[in-house]
Amino acid sequence: MKELATVILPTFNGQDYIQQMLDSIYAQEYRPIEVIITDDASTDGTVSIIKNWVLSNQEPDLSCRMIMNDKNKGISRNLTDAVKYVHGRYLFLADQDDLWQMNKISRQVDYLEKNQDCIMCICDRSVINAGGDVMCPSLFEYRNADLGKRDYRKVINSVAQYPANCMCLRTGHLRNIFPIPAKIKSHDTFITIMAAHYGKIGYVKNVLTKYRIHGKNLSGQYAIESNKNMFKAWMILYKSFRRKKKIEKNDTLIIQYELQKRFHECRGKSLKKIWGYEIKNTFMDTVKYMLRNLEKRGRFCK
């Protein structure tokens, strides 16, 4: 008998894409699945869509729990509250506007079952636009990612990113991985650092997540590559620069404090290496970095 897999799906004003995401969870070839949907006080039609979906997709091996917040708590608090209801042996974190390949859960669970030294595995993801067209077939390839297993030392000291929508996590140590501090901006990196105390981080080379970028969530990391309106691209890039500055400054201190509190250790300045690249002092330095990446890797937008 297969082990229960839990999917946590935080939502907030996601009516444009939530139906497609839910349908891709239902289409998973893996069973049994437990879905925990936690809505962060949406003001659009998200809750209504979810309720209708739950009523229309009831089956013995697919259970759904819906939690509705009275007020907006933010992604970190939302995830922390949802973890209290997890019963599965494996945990997946979903984004409301993405899509999953039908073998995502089965492929990642299979990896962890075959690699008992790993507590978490990360799958590859493609980038799609608002209409679902593929803009980048593989972010592992785009970033020239090192796909070797990472122990705690490598997680701390290597240049890497650990996207939440690509995670599969063993749940045996959730009480020490969570809660996520409310002021953390990069919750996926926080989860990875805390989880790495209990096992290695592995990589599944298959593209199992379709990461959707659009007007409301567009990451500054792909602003120039994926936006034909250059003024808008620069504005997104500037906002992303400011956010990354805050992440490097604030998240480093928060993670250092949590490491001391939970594991009695301190990593200090070495944590700065975790953010993918060290943020420069000026906005133009960041722009130059992005342009160098474009020249090196080429535009992936169609």
User: How many residues can be counted in the chain?
Assistant: 302
Residue 71 identity:
K
Class of domain 5-212: alpha beta
Boundaries of every domain in the chain: 5-212, 220-297
Could you tell me the CA-to-CA distances from 254 to 73, 184, 250 in Å, in that order? Answer: 18, 7, 6
For the chain, which ranges sit under pLDDT 70? 159-160, 215-249, 267-302
Express each pLDDT in 206-240 by its tens digit: 999 999 987 665 454 554 455 556 556 556 555 65
DSSP 164: G
Express each pLDDT in 195-210 by its tens digit: 999 999 999 999 999 9
Express each pLDDT in 168-188 by its tens digit: 999 999 988 999 998 888 899
Distance separating alpha carbons of residues 10 and 36, to the nearest angstrom? 8
Distance separating alpha carbons of residues 130 and 98, to the nearest angstrom? 10
Residue 296 identity:
K
pLDDT at position 265, please?
80
Q: Give pTM, 2 decimals.
A: 0.85
Q: Decide the pairing of beta strands 90-93 and 118-128.
A: unpaired
Distance separating alpha carbons of residues 69 and 42, to the nearest angstrom? 9
pLDDT at position 277, please?
44
Beta-carbon neighbour count of residue 188 at 10 Å? 20
- Facing residues of 211 across strands? 127
pLDDT at position 104, please?
98
User: CA 260 from chain center: how many Å?
Assistant: 25
pLDDT at position 281, please?
46
pLDDT at position 236, please?
57
